[in-house]
Amino acid sequence: MKHEELDAALDSFGDALASATRVTPGNALRPEDIAVDGVAPSDEVAQYALTLGDDSLILAQRLAHWISRAPELEEDVALGNIALDILGHARSFLTYAGLAWDKSEDDLAYWREEEEFTSLWIVEQPNGHFGVTIMRQLIVSIFQHLLYQKLVSSADETLAAIAAKAVKEVDYHRDHAIQWTIRLGQGTEESAEKMRHALDILWPYVDEMFRDEAVHQRLEGIAVLPSTLRDAWQEEITAVLTDAGLQIPSTGQAMVYGRRGEHSEHLGYVLAEMQVLARKHPGASW
């Protein structure tokens, strides 16, 4: 390599390499498109989009913590992909919701108070050990997969479009969680014990996912009624747990109402960390 070649290579580094590869960003729906081209939803639809966005945002925030801490480097990359997908869903839902109130995704993520968040308790639960994270992923991704499958036929076109991209990605998240649940459930005595423990501590937050709230009932044909997903979810997760040599625990169901802004003690810390920098610089752009 000659000096001039190096100079040329460094000069045009970004452009030359970007076009020299077959790498393309794809043409999926992005939050930026929704912000520009989106039609503002009604207040009611926005409320619904907010619930979906909040679930994804908090879950992505949780998963993001794994990067550089996973059991093996390959898993750092895998969890990173999943977190990125879910953050993408959050951004799309929040951007869409924000159109109703003239707010950006960041206004909603960084400047709402804890009681204004509508996330489910299950996504707020701490990462714990890898098995807890996998079990949380199993519970949530099967739920989200069923949900988005139905949302694809929502009468609201934007929600349907967001769901159309998300459903494929969540299908992979579900597969990832299933593969790991089976391996950890059947791996060693220690890993099976850890998975039983994960089930015990997370199971109380299952029912909340399927509770129909007023917002769902008022949006017939637009929102998916969570209660309609319950049977399919139960069947699917039972099959996975059986494959993994695990059983649905006998724990009761917690009386929790994240959708109404009543959150676990964990959420305050999640938000404190997420919002601290943005709030230190009101009005700043980044």
Partner 1 sequence: MAPSAPQEPGLSAVPSYEEEQSQARFDALIDRDARVEPRDWMPEPYRKTLTRQVSQHAHSEIIGMQPEANWITRAPSLKRKSILMAKVQDEAGHGLYLYSAAETLGTSRDELNDQLLTGRAKYSSIFNYPARSWADMGAIGWLVDGAAIANQVPLCRASYGPYGRAMVRICKEESFHQRQGFEILLALSRGTEAQKKMAQDAINRFYEPSLMMFGPPDDQSPNSQQSMAWNIKRFSNDELRQRFVGMIAEQVKVLGMTLPDPELHYDEVKKQWIHKDLNWDEFMNVIKGNGPANSQRLERRREAHREGAWVREAATAYAAKQAQSEVA
Partner 2 sequence: MSQQNNWPLWEVFVRSSRGLSHVHAGSLHAPDAQMAVRNARDLYTRRNEGVSLWVVKSSDIISSDPDEKDSFFESPQGKDYRHATYYKASEGVKHL
Give the footprint of partner 1 on this chain (CB under 8 A): 1, 3, 6-7, 9-10, 13-14, 17-18, 20-21, 23, 31, 57, 61, 64-65, 67-77, 80-81, 83-84, 87-88, 90-91, 94, 105-106, 109-110, 129-131, 182-184, 186-188, 190-191, 194, 273-274, 276-278, 281, 283-286
Q: Among candidates 147, 198, 201, which has minimal Cα distance to 174? A: 147
- Least Å from the CB of residue 238 to partner 1: 20
**Cβ–Cβ under 8 Å, residues 104 and 60:** no
Q: Among candidates 60, 186, 77, which has minimal Cα distance to 133? A: 60
Residue 276 interacts, among partner 1, partner 2, none and using kind-specific CB cut-offs from 5 to 8 Å, with partner 1
Which of 183, 218, 260, 279 touches partner 2 by CB under 8 A?
Answer: 183
CA 207/CA 189 separation, integer angstroms: 29
CA 242/CA 97 separation, integer angstroms: 39
Q: Does residue 25 belong to the site contacting partner 2 (CB under 8 A)? A: yes
Q: Does residue 72 belong to the site contacting partner 2 (CB under 8 A)? A: yes
Q: Does residue 175 belong to the site contacting partner 2 (CB under 8 A)? A: yes
CA 182/CA 112 separation, integer angstroms: 39
- Least Å from the CB of residue 196 to partner 1: 13
Name the one residue in this structure whose structure tokens are 């460094």.
10
- Least Å from the CB of residue 282 to partner 2: 35
- Least Å from the CB of residue 267 to partner 2: 29
Phi, psi of 24 (to 5 degrees): -130, 150
CA 164/CA 152 separation, integer angstroms: 5
